[in-house]
Amino acid sequence: MTHRRIRPFLDSLRTEIAGGLRFAAVFMAVFLLFTTFVFALFYIPSGSMRPALEVGDRFAVSKWAYGYSRFSLPWGLPRLLPHAKGRIFGRLPRRGDVVVFVSPKDNLVMVKRVIGLPGDVIETRGGRLYINGRRVARTFLRLSRYRDHHGQIRTAQVYAERFAGARRAHRIYEMSNHMVLDGWSPDDSGPFTVRPGHVFVMGDNRDNSNDSRSPHGPGQIPLENLVGKAETVLFTLARCRHEPGLDCPPPRLWRLM
């Protein structure tokens, strides 16, 4: 290839590379803005939120629901801003919201349901949930036998639980009304008074959830640690075997929470 032919080729190559780099920069900027301020995708690795969220579910979280803090940043960037406190455009979750948050104890990203708001008194007695001294209404639906993600067969009582003033009920699992786990009981715990600027969270799989009740759990969650509100199960990659006498969740695609 002669010099006359090489030069136009190199100029064309430089133009294409520069165009590709500009496109990549714009794409990354838009993606960063989207995942910081609009939506983020998360994955369920455990069964603590059954039956609302199954192992393997991919779900979308709205980051604008409660305002923004350093924990709204993606890719572990919050660790670069350890002293940035508070939220902007902050809003309090509603009792019953399913939220994603960063544990204040170990920085793990977790998902649970908001049970208590600042000033509430939360307690469990004999497997029943009490909020401010009032027992939360629940209705027995059926028994469910299923194989968990560790391969163990479990039997759970399925209840529809409804908070006072809530628009609709949500379903919970109870294995027993007097469960004891590693020296503490999820069914007989508290009372806990929710501190200002915090929320109290629990898993829907009430006897299989490391949550605000547990001495080993994340404790009460500071509002600034909220990442967002779980809105929609987009799809799941998990599959279960259909076995006689065992429940197998159906495929989930674009299901609202």
Answer yes or no: 85 catalytic. Answer: no
Within 10 angstroms of residue 216's Cβ, the number of other Cβ atoms is: 12
Report d(CA 116, CA 134) in Å as an integer. 13
Tell me the CA distances in angstroms from 115 to 97, 99, 213, one per residue in order.
Answer: 8, 11, 11
Q: Which of 170, 151, 160, 169 is nearest to 47 (CA)?
A: 151
Structure tokens at 109: 């990203």
Q: Which of 48, 69, 209, 212 is catalytic?
A: 48
Q: Which of 63, 72, 112, 209 is catalytic?
A: 112
Residue 234 and residue 257 in contact, taking contact as beta carbons nearer than 8 Å: no
Residue 94 and residue 82 in contact, taking contact as beta carbons nearer than 8 Å: no
Answer yes or no: 176 catalytic. Answer: no
Catalytically active residues, by annotation: 48, 112
